[in-house]
Each structure stands twice: as structure tokens, then as C-alpha cells.
Structure 1
Amino acid sequence: MSMPEPESPEPDAAPPADEAPEAAPDTPPLDPYTAHYPPWARELARKYFTKTVSTFILHGDIRDVVPTEDRDGARIYPPLRRFLTDDLFAARDVVVFYDRSAGIHFADAASRRDFSRALAGEERLAGTEYENNLPKAPNKVFELLEDYFRLRLSNGTRVACVIDYAETVAPMAEASMYSAPDRQSLVYLQKWSRDSLFLESDFTLTLLTENLTDLNQQLVQSPHTAEIYVPIPEGDDRQAYIDWALDERGDRFRAHSDVSPEALAQNTAGLNYTQLRTILADVLENQNRLTAATLSDLKKEFIEAEAYGMLEFIETDNSLDLIAGHTEAKRHLRQAAHAVQTGQHDVLPMGYLVSGPVGCGKTFLINCFAGEIGIPMVKLKNFRSQWQGVTEGNLEKILNLLEAMTPVAVMIDEADAALGDRDAQGDSGVSQRVFSQIVSFMSDPAHRGRVIFFLVTARPDLMPVDLKRQGRAEEHLSLFYPHTRADREELLRVMMRRTGVDLPIEAVPPELLEGERTYSGADMEAVLTRAAFRAAGSNDGTVTPALLQETVNDFIPPTYPTEVELQQLAAVLECTSRDLLPERFRSMKREEVVERLEQLKRMVD
């Protein structure tokens, strides 16, 4: 690519064989002039040197600093704009920047003067309103840049153009929503990406956007553009940055930190260099003590802010010991936790489908699992927006963060409503695109054991098969209400501990343990809470057996027998382990379950 040293050979000249670094037999040697660049920058250079593409879309962590070296070989971390100017485009004669806020600006004053001189000579600026005040509207700007680029490229001038916040220039929208100026701007960008003069000259157009889905898809999907993803730094990159930032200040950092630099790098997955700099500056400059708890809080704060509040960390001191019943489900999850903690990622499922009727403890089970899995667990909140293109951009941001946070577990509650459907209609294709993004991410083999999805729903029958098949949500854990006295006793003991009610099992009303009606965990908690509320009005506030019996007699739980039976049978059909099924369901023929389920659906609908 463009070399920062003026005495360097031509960019496309092959380096001398004796200067190429050693490499493995199957690994192509690195270009010594770009070896110190991050991988994404080397990829951009490689594609540029093919001379078949001159338009690049940089997306991802583009607001961060970039690791590189100065002329003396010392490690530095400049912002992306300076990296483009001083490194990638250092040999260009002119580097032009544009965004809708600042308008046209240049890497140096000489380029600005050349721009004015060139267009004045063409009588494009002289005597016009633009002579001393350049336009900011994209269509007007591109009209001027078109003339300037063609004039200079025809004379052999080497030019680079960087358009920041490209999604505001060519946003994702239906063609019918574009105004005439917007369409004109899009035509300019498309023309520059395929015009022979631009391809054959030393010209590079770089579009910057955080989310690829925010940009016009005609540009993104064009064979004349190349998309370059700028990833959030990984563990080795974070360690290198911390070592660089603590050079000669390591003792000062350790004096105010309970977290070693190595532990800091290991426990900040998902954070970029700028966020790491904030943590380090708080210790080095403000001398605030960094503890493990403080680091956890800071990481949570940074990632939730970066995800615009659409990811929520699940933090709990609970464990699966608090779960009553669901013995087989707990056994499987404990095996999964052991595999994660021992690094056996290849034996783990890509994801889980957790189903069962309302009140059976699906969400609580996964929350308790988060307490003992040993890796972060986040909850995916509502990422949908009423504005076109924003939903897809939100999801892209979230998935990029999840990939950077690995290993991580992700819980999606009410998954049947949250994830869309390939066949959904009536929302301009948003649900279809969201569905495509999700299934593509879930089925990536590189994510096995590193991004574990938990899709929680009471209606698994409403979820598309593509999400539930092998290679995505592979394990289907079905939960049911307690169906034996032992299960009910265990559940009641747990609920009494949660609500602070202290009674011997012998003093508990028999309706809770042996009645015809099955009380769910939510029902039992509601009864005990109501009894505690009544006891609060008495002198000592103690729940007595008589008061609890009175509460049970008065309690009328909301009953939806048809819906509950439907949800139970849907969970039976989805279950992938016979051991998880209660005895009464194991003996049912599958044809009987399907037939009854269809009857219930017709009744509910």
C-alpha cells in the first residue's frame, strides 16, 4: 500500500527475498512494509494491490485507536483518521476528508490550496457561492469532488478520499424513500467504485460506518466495493496495549491495583483500546484503586453503554442448588458448566432451547446457571426500532460485541417473539433480515462453546424450525410443573427460603403438596408472599400454620388450563431427552400429542 517513507520503493514492487520475514511453509510471508499493521489494514492493502477494487467500507470498531509503528519502529496508537493519513495513505499527494457536519477538509494546507487552485482554474469556484464557503450537502460536495478527482487523476496525482459517517450520506432505505439529491450522491459513489479512470489510477475511496447494515445495501453488496471489518481487540492485542501504556509506569499501576496487568487483559474481553485507556488513566492519574469488583462494574458499564442498553449483564449469587426439581436439566447444565470451565468447547452445543409452561422456572433456571458457569452471561433486550434500518444496525452492533466478549452466554427471553421469522410479512422485511442475521451468527462453527445461546419460550411451536435445528439451538430442555410429592416438597422448601416463611412441612396445608391442582413455583411463591403480607399486620409478623391455611383457602390462582396444556404438550414435542419428560408424558404416543396439540391450538386461536 502507500508507504510512509518517501524513499521506499513503489508500493506494488515485491520486497527483496532476503528481507521477507520467515513464515511457516503454508503461510504466505508478510509484506515487510505492512507487517506492523493490524490484520484488517493488511487485508485492505492486499485487496487494493489487486487493482480490481478502489472503494473500501470500513466498519466495526472504527472510533478506536489503531496499533502501528512510527518511523523509528516504536509502538504507537493513533486515532483511525491519523492512521489513514500517516500510514495507509502516507504516499498520497492528496488526502480528502468529508462528513456532513464538517464538510470537505484536507490532511494538510497544501492539499487545500491545490483543491482551490484546481477548481478555480476550471472556473468551478470563481465567482460562485462556494468560492470561500464550500458546500456540505453530499450531492453538491460530490459534484465538486468529481471534477477535482478527474482533473488530478488524469495528471497522475495520487488521491485518497475518506467519507466518515457514510450511513448519513448513503443510508439504508428503500429506493422509493430516497430524495433526488440522495440518489445523485449514491450514483457518484457507485460511479467512483467502477470507473476505469479511478480503478487504473492511484485512488482510494474509504467509507467509514460503525454498522454495515446502516449503509445502503447497493453499495455494500456491490462487487466493486470491499467490506473491511475492524474488530474489537482480542486478548493478545489488549495485553500489548496495556504493556505499552504501562511502560515505565508498571510499579505505579500495581501500587493502586489489586488486578495485575495480565488479569486486566484477560478479563476485559469486549472492551476496546479507548475503554482500556480510561481504566488505566483512572488508576494512574486519579489513583483510584482497581479491584476485581470495580473492574467487573466498569466492564459492565462500558459494554452496556456500547450496546445502547440492549445488552444486560445477568449478575447473581444464586446457583443451581436453588432450583427445585428439574433434576435432569440441572445435571446437563452442570456438565455444560464443567466443559466451559475446562475449555472443552468442541463438546458443547451451539445453543439451547428452554421451553415449558408459564411459571415452571425457565428464566430462573438460566439465571441460576449464570451463577456457576464461570463466564459472563448477558440478556438480549429489545433491539427493535420503528425506524427503518435501525433494528438491523442494533443487532449487528450486538453480535459484534458478543463475538468480542467470548466466551459468553446469551439469554433471549420470549424468543418466539424476539427473533422474527424467515416468512414474516408486513414490516418491510425487517423480521426476515433480523432472522437471517441471528441464524447466520448462531450457526457459525467458530462460535461453538464460545457464544452459547439460551432461547427461552413457553411456545416453542411458534419458533421457526431453522432456529431449533441441529447446529443452532441443538439441545432442547423442557421443564414442567412438579408432578410428585417429593418434587413439590423440594419446591416448597425453596420458596419458603426465598420468602422467609419458616414452617415444618408437616404444618403446610396438604393442598399445596397433594391436591389435584398442581401449584407452580410462581403459585407457591405468591401464596407464601400473601401469607407473609397478612402476618405483617399482626404483632409478631410470624406466618403460622393457621394463617397459611387461611391464605391457601382464599387464594384463587389465575387459571388458563387450555393454554397451559398447550404449552406443556409443545414442550413435550420439543424435548430432545426422554429423561426430562414426566412419566405421564413418556407413555404418550407422539401422534396423540400432535393431534391434541392441534386441537388446543384451534381452541386458543
Structure 2
Amino acid sequence: MNWKSAPKFLQTIIEKFNSGQSNQFILYGNVRDLYSLGKDQFYPLIDCLKRLMDPPEGNQRRIIAYYDLISGVQFRNQDDLALVETILGKAELQKYMQDSIQHPLQALVFLQELSKISLNTINSEKQGWGFIINHVESLIHRQESNHLNEVEQRKAMIFHQWFTDPSFVRGRHLAVLVTQTLAELNEMVVELPFVTAIQVPRPNDAQRQRYLRFLKKQHQVSLGLKEKDAVFYTGGLALQDLQKMFMQANHTDTKLTAEMIFKLTQEVIEKELSGNIEFPIINYDFSDVIGSKKLLAKLEEMKSFIMSGKPDLMPTGILVPGPNGVGKTYTFKAFAKECGYLPVIIKNVRGQYVGQTEMTWEKIRSILEVMGNVMVIYDEADTELGGRGAGTHDVDKRLFGAILRMMSDPNNRGKIIWIIITARPDKLEPDIKRTGRAGEHLPVFDPEGQEREEFIDFVMSKVGLSLDDFLADQKQRFLHHTANYSPADFIQLLTNLERKKHLTSRNLTADEILETGYDFIPADISLQRQLQELLAFVECSYQSLIPEKYANMTKQKAYTQIGELKVLLGEN
């Protein structure tokens, strides 16, 4: 076949092998999928590797040995099995193969010994050996090197002896190790000098489009949307997922609509990354964001840049500082919806086992990079993102570095926009706040003046009242009492008012609203919120977003007040 049309990762193996750079490869990532080897020809990875290692044409024929923990050592077909029997003898070979099922260490020794056998001793067109070890992470899992037991140490030594043996390295042999995530595999294998690790990406738009056309013919399923929209909505899915989707539609005789495809895509991805990724349902937009006119005007500008389709105009990331309870997440979820981007919330990335954090992030990255048009919302970023400072755990440092690399990747510009939300931007590493990453700093402040009254009116309208219904004295008392309320405090007051309305089974009077307000005591975090608001002020990228009360304040004075507040809060 013409390997020039094969997936890029297979072409990379061929190129590096033919140039003499490597004959040992680790494939990781989307390795449990289907791959195109020609028009309407899609195969699982192991079948693709067998075809690559032992093509029927040319001088690259090999005996292929396959291994995984369940099946042990197997050979590609009866012809290969017969050839090995002529070398080792039938009884001896069967014993080796049977032992390989029960004893992984013996299986590894057996594969290494096979690689030493010269095929010149038998009358065969085969020129070398091809080895495929599937689920290799289950054979030699990642562990701290000083925690390896004797068996694991021997496995690592065998890999080292095998993959650095000059006769194997210079021969016509080819070895491929397959794992879903590189982070699960022992580093002693990954770092061997002649091993090349190649990521198998999720299918891109063109690959999904080709497979969708094939599935439409195969299953006779109709699409209730344009083909290009189906391609867009299936971003992040593997071809196997598309196959299941069409099989289900065919079985139920259902037309695939945009809503169905989008829902199924979300379900598949959330299941694969259970607990680590969430696609929030947003049923509001900018019209529901009250009291932030200056910010909304700036976000409308950003929206026009994003929707222009010009990556150079789009922000890579936006830092969103602001005090607790001000509505940062609410506002920027609305921003994602207004821009037509899919909001994605990442959470619980850190794992308790060695390599678990890196494994999780590897999966998240592989999905996000192929989806496109996503806004990654990182809430409580000061505690979630990790860092590089003294005392930071090595896992947090590696996670932070991986996030920075992903943010800086020019291939992601315009496809992935990062929303970094925090009340404490001072606790973020400077690397993430700089231009080229989260370089746009758009704080959310408490509404003030007329905007504050509009916000309060919005809250009052939920219980059938307006500030205009108050007498002048009542209005003044209410505004004075709620002067230090955050938007979140007002939402809690609204809940209390709705409860009272439920108990009385009628609309509340102004006096009853005042009574409920006097009874409610919000959490006393006024000093913390003052600190958080000052931090948002000093981080702000645009003069037009600064509240009136800070209009004449210098940053030097703000930093002085920040230091004083930290002392009062016991932070220094």
C-alpha cells in the first residue's frame, strides 16, 4: 500500500526507521481507535502495526510476535508460528508461549531471546523480527525508581539490555510498545536512548469527515444537520465513538440531529474523563449579567475579536480577578455562550498515585486540542494550577509546566481560550499572567452607584418589588444596611425573601423586606474582600474598567494597603 497516505504517526515510524534513527517506538494517546489505510479501509492499531511490520511487498518482511498480559506471546499467523517452530521445536515453543501467559517476566525474557535468533538459519523471506507489546504499562508500570521491587527491576534491566543491544539496534527488527498514556509507563523504559515516543492524536476534522461519510454509506443513517456541523460537534471523539453513535442511530432508526450528536459527544468525553471535565449547561447570556456595564462593553469587544476568525486578534487567555461572590464565573460563562464557544470546566486533576496527575492531564489535553472552539474555565486557579515556587511539590510543578506549554502552543491560538478565575491573583505564578498566556486581565468588581441600584432592583424584581416601591426613608435604610453586601450576599437575601414569600403566600411589603434584611447576617469577610478588590485593581489591564473609588489611587498606595491588610489577616 501507499504509506504516504497513512496516519502521520505511522509515517513517522517509517521515516525514523528507514533513516536509521530508531527501531523502537512507544505509541501513546488515542491508541484504541480505528485508522485509515486507504479509501474506506479502517483498522485497529494492532492490525495497522502488523501490516506496517510485515508488508506483503518489498524487503521488509518480519516474523511478528505480539504480547499482552491476557493472551501472552502470540504470533501473527500460522505461517509465522510454523517458522518459529522450525527454530525452537514445537514442544519447546508451546511451553514458552504457555508460560508467557502466567509469568510476565518470563514472557519478556522470551521476547528478548527471540530477537537474538538470526533468521538467516531458515529458508524464509523474513528479514527480521517485529515485536508488539500492547498495554505495556501493565507489564512495567510507572513507579519511583527507589520503590521498584526485584521483579520490576529485572523487567527494567531486560528492556535496557534488549533495546540497547547493538545487534538489535542495527538489525532489521522493529519493536512497538503501546500504552494509552505515557505517564503510566515506567520512566526507565521511556528514557532508553534508542526509544522514540510518538503521540497518536485524536482524529482531526478531515479524518472525522472522511469516516462520517463512510458511516453514512455503511449504516444508511441520515443526518439532520450539515456535514460540516456534524464534524464540528464531534470534535474530541474517536472514530470508534462515531461508529457507536451511528450503530445506535441505525438500531433505533433515528435521524442524528445537532442536539443528539452534541449530547452524545459530551457524554462520551465526560465518561472518559469522569470527574475531571465538565460541560456546564448555560441558559443565560449578557442580558442576565446586571451591574457590570464597563466590563460587558470590553467583553463585547473581545467577542468581536473571537468571532472574527482571526487568531491574531483573539486572546490566548484572560485572567479574571475579583473579590469572592462578585459573579466572576457567572459572567464568563455568559461570555463563552455569547462567543459560541463551548465552556469546559477542568477539576480534580491531581491524583494520589504516581503518574496519575500526568496521565489525567495527557487525556484532557488530547481532547481539548482536537475539539477547538472551547473556553477552558479554571476556577479557584490559585489553588488548582500548581506552580514552580520553593516548596511546591514536583507533581504540581510538572502540571503547571504542562499547562503553560499548552497555553503557549501557537497551534491552539483561537481554538482554546483560557479563563483563569481567582480572588487571589497574587498567589499565581507570574509566568501564567504574562502576555501570550493569560495576558488580558479583566477584573470583576462589585457594582457601584447607579449600577448597584439597578442590580438591587433586579434582585427585588424576583419577589415582585422594586426600589421604587420603597418610601424614601425605607430605601435609604435598605441601601445603608446592604452597603457591604456582595452580589452573592444579595442572592442569599433573595433566597430568604422567596422563602418568606412562600410562607406568607403573598407578595412581601417593604417593611417585611427590611425585616428579612436586618435578620440576615452575611459572613464577615469584609477585610478579605477589601484585599481581593485591591488585588483586582492592581492587576487590571484597562483604565476604563477601574471603579470610580480607585480612579485616583496609585498602584503604590494600593500595594501599601494590600500589605497592611495582609498583616491584619495574619498572612505576613
The reply to whether TM is greater than 0.5 is yes
Instruction: String of CA shifts for 1:285-318, please: whole Å, max 9, x gaps.
Output: 3212322221221111011112233111122121
Rounded Cα–Cα distance in structure 1 between residues aligned with 2:532 and 2:97: 71
The correspondence for 2:453, drawn from 476, 489, 496, is: 489
What are the residue-to-residue correspondences of 1:34-183 with 2, within 5 Å?
Answer: 34-69=3-38, 74-90=39-55, 91-120=60-89, 125=92, 130=96, 132-152=98-118, 155=121, 157-183=127-153
The correspondence for 1:213, drawn from 171, 183, 195, is: 183
The corresponding residue for 1:239 is: 209
- Any gaps of 5 or more consecutive residues in structure 2? none
The corresponding residue for 2:304 is: 338
User: Does the 8 A contact of 2:481 with 2:518 survive in 1?
Assistant: no
The corresponding residue for 2:355 is: 389
Which one has the bigger helix percentage? Answer: 2
Instruction: String of CA shifts for 1:167-206, please: whole Å, max 9, x gaps.
Output: 2223222111111211221222233333211122111111
User: Does the 8 A contact of 1:528 with 1:548 survive in 2?
Assistant: no
The correspondence for 2:465, drawn from 499, 503, 517, is: 503
The corresponding residue for 1:295 is: 261
User: Does the 8 A contact of 1:406 with 1:451 survive in 2?
Assistant: yes
How many residues of Structure 1 are paired with residues of Structure 2 in the alignment?
A: 558
The correspondence for 1:591, drawn from 540, 556, 560, is: 556
Change (3 A) 1:131 1:386: closer
Instruction: String of CA shifts for 1:374-414, please: whole Å, max 9, x gaps.
Output: 12111111111111110110011101111011121100110
User: Does the 8 A contact of 2:205 with 2:235 survive in 1?
Assistant: yes
Rounded Cα–Cα distance in structure 1 between residues aligned with 2:218 and 2:31: 29
Once the two structures are overlaid, the 10-residue window that deviates more, 240-249 or 558-567, is: 240-249
The corresponding residue for 1:601 is: 566
The correspondence for 1:268, drawn from 219, 223, 234, is: 234
Change (3 A) 1:440 1:276: same
Rounded Cα–Cα distance in structure 2 between residues aligned with 1:247 and 1:353: 47
Cα distance, 1:218 vs. partner?
A: 3.5
Change (3 A) 1:140 1:133: closer
Amino acid at match of 1:210: Q
Once the two structures are overlaid, the 10-residue window that deviates more, 221-230 or 455-464, is: 221-230
Rounded Cα–Cα distance in structure 2 between residues aligned with 1:385 and 1:537: 46
Rounded Cα–Cα distance in structure 1 between residues aligned with 2:180 and 2:35: 15
Cα distance, 1:116 vs. partner?
A: 4.8
RMSD across aligned positions (CA): 2.2
Cα distance, 1:461 vs. partner?
A: 0.6
Once the two structures are overlaid, the 10-residue window that deviates more, 177-186 or 447-456, is: 177-186
User: Does the 8 A contact of 1:159 with 1:202 survive in 2?
Assistant: yes
Cα distance, 1:108 vs. partner?
A: 1.1
Instruction: Verify: 1:452 aligned to 2:414, yes or no.
Output: no
The corresponding residue for 2:344 is: 378
Rounded Cα–Cα distance in structure 2 between residues aligned with 1:448 and 1:529: 41
What are the residue-to-residue correspondences of 1:560-579 with 2, within 5 Å?
Answer: 560-579=525-544
Cα distance, 1:139 vs. partner?
A: 2.3
Instruction: String of CA shifts for 1:465-506, please: whole Å, max 9, x gaps.
Output: 11111111111111111221x111221233345xx3111222
Change (3 A) 1:79 1:93: same
Amino acid at match of 1:148: L
The corresponding residue for 2:273 is: 307
Rounded Cα–Cα distance in structure 2 between residues aligned with 1:280 and 1:408: 25
Rounded Cα–Cα distance in structure 2 between residues aligned with 1:154 and 1:147: 16
Change (3 A) 1:286 1:590: same
User: Does the 8 A contact of 2:322 with 2:328 survive in 1?
Assistant: yes
Cα distance, 1:274 vs. partner?
A: 0.8
User: Does the 8 A contact of 1:512 with 1:519 survive in 2?
Assistant: no
User: Does the 8 A contact of 2:344 with 2:374 survive in 1?
Assistant: yes
Cα distance, 1:359 vs. partner?
A: 0.9
Rounded Cα–Cα distance in structure 2 between residues aligned with 1:154 and 1:588: 84
Rounded Cα–Cα distance in structure 2 between residues aligned with 1:434 and 1:86: 37
Cα distance, 1:578 vs. partner?
A: 1.5
Change (3 A) 1:89 1:472: farther
Rounded Cα–Cα distance in structure 1 between residues aligned with 2:252 and 2:315: 45
Rounded Cα–Cα distance in structure 1 between residues aligned with 2:275 and 2:83: 46
The corresponding residue for 2:172 is: 202
Cα distance, 1:217 vs. partner?
A: 2.6
Change (3 A) 1:470 1:154: farther
Amino acid at match of 1:228: I
Rounded Cα–Cα distance in structure 1 between residues aligned with 2:280 and 2:225: 22
Instruction: Verify: 1:192 aligned to 2:156, yes or no.
Output: no
Change (3 A) 1:478 1:426: closer
Instruction: Verify: 1:402 aligned to 2:371, yes or no.
Output: no
The corresponding residue for 1:519 is: 485
Instruction: Verify: 1:253 aligned to 2:221, yes or no.
Output: yes
Amino acid at match of 2:268: F
User: Does the 8 A contact of 2:221 with 2:256 survive in 1?
Assistant: no
Rounded Cα–Cα distance in structure 1 between residues aligned with 2:141 and 2:487: 49
The corresponding residue for 1:7 is: none
User: Does the 8 A contact of 1:424 with 1:432 survive in 2?
Assistant: no
SS in 2 for 1:472: coil
Cα distance, 1:283 vs. partner?
A: 2.3
Instruction: Verify: 1:353 aligned to 2:319, yes or no.
Output: yes
SS in 2 for 1:304: helix
Rounded Cα–Cα distance in structure 2 between residues aligned with 1:248 and 1:177: 51
Cα distance, 1:520 vs. partner?
A: 1.4
Amino acid at match of 2:467: I
Rounded Cα–Cα distance in structure 2 between residues aligned with 1:89 and 1:599: 72
Rounded Cα–Cα distance in structure 2 between residues aligned with 1:169 and 1:203: 21
Rounded Cα–Cα distance in structure 1 between residues aligned with 2:405 and 2:323: 29
Instruction: String of CA shifts for 1:206-264, please: whole Å, max 9, x gaps.
Output: 11111122222333344411121111111111111111222376xx423xx42243431
The correspondence for 1:582, drawn from 536, 547, 550, is: 547
SS in 1 for 2:446: coil
Instruction: String of CA shifts for 1:404-425, please: whole Å, max 9, x gaps.
Output: 1112110011011111111253
Rounded Cα–Cα distance in structure 2 between residues aligned with 1:376 and 1:516: 36
User: Does the 8 A contact of 1:54 with 1:193 survive in 2?
Assistant: no
User: Does the 8 A contact of 2:53 with 2:174 survive in 1?
Assistant: no
The correspondence for 1:475, drawn from 413, 437, 440, is: 440
User: Does the 8 A contact of 2:443 with 2:540 survive in 1?
Assistant: yes
Change (3 A) 1:131 1:381: closer
Change (3 A) 1:515 1:203: same
Change (3 A) 1:348 1:263: closer
Instruction: String of CA shifts for 1:59-83, please: whole Å, max 9, x gaps.
Output: 11110001013xxxx4310111111
Cα distance, 1:443 vs. partner?
A: 1.1
SS in 2 for 1:66: strand
SS in 2 for 1:58: strand
Rounded Cα–Cα distance in structure 1 between residues aligned with 2:441 and 2:532: 14
User: Does the 8 A contact of 1:233 with 1:271 survive in 2?
Assistant: yes
User: Does the 8 A contact of 2:179 with 2:185 survive in 1?
Assistant: yes
Rounded Cα–Cα distance in structure 2 between residues aligned with 1:449 and 1:501: 42
Once the two structures are overlaid, the 10-residue window that deviates more, 228-237 or 501-510, is: 501-510
Cα distance, 1:99 vs. partner?
A: 1.6
Instruction: Verify: 1:557 aligned to 2:522, yes or no.
Output: yes
Rounded Cα–Cα distance in structure 2 between residues aligned with 1:347 and 1:569: 29
Change (3 A) 1:206 1:238: same
The corresponding residue for 2:248 is: 282
Rounded Cα–Cα distance in structure 1 between residues aligned with 2:263 and 2:396: 34
